[in-house]
Amino acid sequence: MLYNCFLKSGIVYVPTVVKMKTGVYSDVEPVAVVPVANTEGLRRSFLDAIERGNVVVPNPPKDDWPPPVLLKYSGAKTWSAFARGTSQWSIIQDEQSIYQIVGYRNHPDGYWAQDPDQKISFSRGATVYEVIDRMISILQDAMRR
């Protein structure tokens, strides 16, 4: 399972993440838009996204790929405009229900790549609440920097 969040200008975007039949993940609606300082709002947004899970959906037709859903919520006109000044993190849950938080960095080729220096692995017994609280702490710390 994969759950994404994006921090831009003090706002956290928590989209629903679906898995396409080809195995690619995509951000879709609904998208929660929450000020980074709103701890309870963030907690609820992450829990809601996790409850929705990663539904498997067909790929859109090759010539009819929709624009990134986050543009609508951020007011950005292009993906590159949205990505500029944005930080991304993901919560990953493997088949054994072990969680990781992964931060991303800008790749020289213009996309986000996992940053091994921003990877936090949790022990087998960690709860979703512990993972979410750590994610909120990361987001709020990133905003302070």
Find the CATH number of the domain harbouring 15.
Answer: 3.40.1590.10
Phi-psi region of 85 (alpha: psi -120 to 50; beta: other; left: phi over 0): left
Identify whether the C-beta of residue 99 lies closer than 8 Å to the C-beta of residue 91: yes
Overall average pLDDT of the 66-86 stretch: 93
Q: Highest mean pLDDT: which of 38-42, 58-62, 64-68, 110-114?
A: 38-42
Instruction: Write down the mean pLDDT value for the chain.
Output: 94
Residue 55's H or E segment, with its range, is none
DSSP state for residue 140 in the 8-state scheme:
H
- Say yes or no to pLDDT of 41 above 80: yes
Residue range of the domain that includes 120: 2-144
Identify whether the C-beta of residue 105 lies closer than 8 Å to the C-beta of residue 113: yes
- Is the model's pTM score more than 0.85? yes
DSSP per residue, 19-50: EETTS-EEEEEEEEEEETT-HHHHHHHHHHHH
Query: In the prediction, which pLDDT does 140 show?
Result: 98
Query: Among residues of the chain, what percentage have pLDDT more than 70?
Result: 100
Query: In the prediction, which pLDDT does 4 show?
Result: 98
* The total number of structural domains that make up the chain: 1
Strand partners, 85: none
Identify whether the C-beta of residue 121 lies closer than 8 Å to the C-beta of residue 142: no
- Say yes or no to pLDDT of 63 above 90: no
Query: Among residues of the chain, what percentage have pLDDT more than 90?
Result: 82
- Say yes or no to pLDDT of 48 above 90: yes
Half-sphere exposure of 68 (CA within 13 A, CB side): 17
Q: How far, in Å, CA of 133 to CA of 126, rounded? A: 11
Strands 25-35 and 56-57: unpaired
Overall average pLDDT of the 100-114 stretch: 89
